[in-house]
Amino acid sequence: MPTRRFDAPGDPALSDLHGDLAERDLQPLWELSGLLTPTPRARAVPYRWRGKELRELGGRAGDLVPVDRGGNRRVLSLSNPELGGGPYASAPLWGALQYLGPREAAPAHRHTPAALRFVLEGEGVWTMVNGDPLRMAAGDLVLTPSWTWHEHHSPGDAPMTWFDALDLPLVEALEAVFFEPGPEPAAQSADPARSASERRFGAGPGLLPGKRPTRPTAHSPLLRHRWADTDRALASQFTVPDAETSATGHAHVRFADPTSGRDVMPTMRCEMHRYMPGHSAPALRCTGSSLTAVFHGAGFVVLDGTRYDIAPGDLIAVPSWTSVTVVAEESLDLFTVSDAPVLEALSLYREEAATDSVEITPAR
Ligand code: GTQ
Ligand code: FE2
């Protein structure tokens, strides 16, 4: 936020002018600072929510709060401590832990903010997206693009939690939020064994249906990426003979629209990273913010010089222009979601090696 200083001690005429400007809702630029900063100044801070605590608190919410309270979703939103008490993980991104108990359902609705789920543990839930039932199991990525109907069902005996990410703060800033509750009652059953979108667009590597809709959609037509496929893609990068991956100990894949190669949704980029113990990579920073969900392994991240130990289930906010280093102590699998497609579309994406760091201090 720019800071302002509109008094002009010792110059009554200028003081009067500043007063008259303020009365007419005008501000003199010559009195404003912090507006055009040399580099991006994120209001949000780097932050880590611990998986262990999220699991415990999610379970207590499951015991106490019926799913039909407050938007029909039992969700704990990540609230970045520097965003003025708002429920946002970073300026453009919503992140949350969602908890669905045994035999519960979260009924259908749709909204213009796009959403995705990355499943941290468990299986048995399915999400219906525009009539297509998608199975959710650990490591799966499930998309609910802008304005698609979605509802979650848990037919099993065990509760399930997953990580939600939405571009809600971004869409809110653009003043383009619409929401509509779905028709009651929600669907009772469907066969999520393999969804229509998976059958058509996830049938095999490089294989697309010969007959395709004439109008391409703004988002990927493949609404679920299964962990077995993601895992295989990461593992195979380590076995390509001349690959950089083997030298650096870091493999990553980007989840893409199979028909275009573009990001799965217009506003969010999803990636899965695998870091091997002993891998080395320079600290990097980029414009735009990201959220990370720790899926497997152990190690730490260094964010602007502060060290955060990480364990499965941890969720991490990385605001714009934060320098990031990842260190694996055991093979680490990290899911990341960022607003990079937006920055790229607007020609605002930049990245650089962060050479100015730093003494590492442990996190609070
Ligand atoms: O599951 O539909 O974390 O609508 C926030 C808003 C999840 C959902 C969130 C939502 C949902
Ligand atoms: Fe939703």
| pLDDT, tens only, 266-279 | 999 999 999 999 88
Ligand 1 touching residue 112 (CB < 6 A): no
Closest CA to 127 of 66, 195, 55, 76: 195
pLDDT of residue 70: 63
Return the residue whose CA atom lies nearest to atom 11 of ligand 1: 73
Ligand 1 touching residue 87 (CB < 6 A): no
Residue ranges in the chain modelled with pLDDT below 50: none
pLDDT of residue 67: 85
Tell me how far the alpha carbon of residue 142 lies from the centroid of ligand 1, in angstroms.
Answer: 13
Rounded Cα gap, residues 340 and 134, in angstroms: 26
pLDDT of residue 115: 98
Q: Where are the domains of the chain?
A: 47-205+220-362
Ligand 1 touching residue 73 (CB < 6 A): yes
Given a contact cutoff of 8 angstroms between Cβ atoms, the answer to whether 152 and 84 are in contact is no
Collect all residues with Cβ–Cβ distance below 8 Å to 134 and sequence separation of at least 6.
126, 127, 128, 142, 192, 195, 197, 198, 223, 224
Ligand 1 touching residue 76 (CB < 6 A): no
* Residue from 67, 68, 69, 73 to probe ligand 1 pocket by mutation (most atoms less than 8 Å from CB): 73
pLDDT of residue 187: 65
Ligand 1 touching residue 168 (CB < 6 A): no
* Residue from 68, 69, 75, 152 to probe ligand 1 pocket by mutation (most atoms less than 8 Å from CB): 75
Collect all residues with Cβ–Cβ distance below 8 Å to 75 and sequence separation of at least 6.
96, 97, 98, 99, 164
Radius of gyration of the chain (CA): 23
CATH class as words, domain 47-205+220-362: mainly beta
Tell me how far the alpha carbon of residue 197 lies from the centroid of ligand 1, in angstroms.
Answer: 21
pLDDT of residue 185: 61
- Express each pLDDT in 44-59 by its tens digit: 999 999 999 999 999 9
Collect all residues with Cβ–Cβ distance below 8 Å to 76 and sequence separation of at least 6.
54, 57, 58, 61, 96, 97, 98, 99
Collect all residues with Cβ–Cβ distance below 8 Å to 306 and sequence separation of at least 6.
46, 360, 361, 362, 363
What does pTM read for this prediction?
Answer: 0.94
Ligand 1 touching residue 150 (CB < 6 A): yes
pLDDT of residue 240: 84
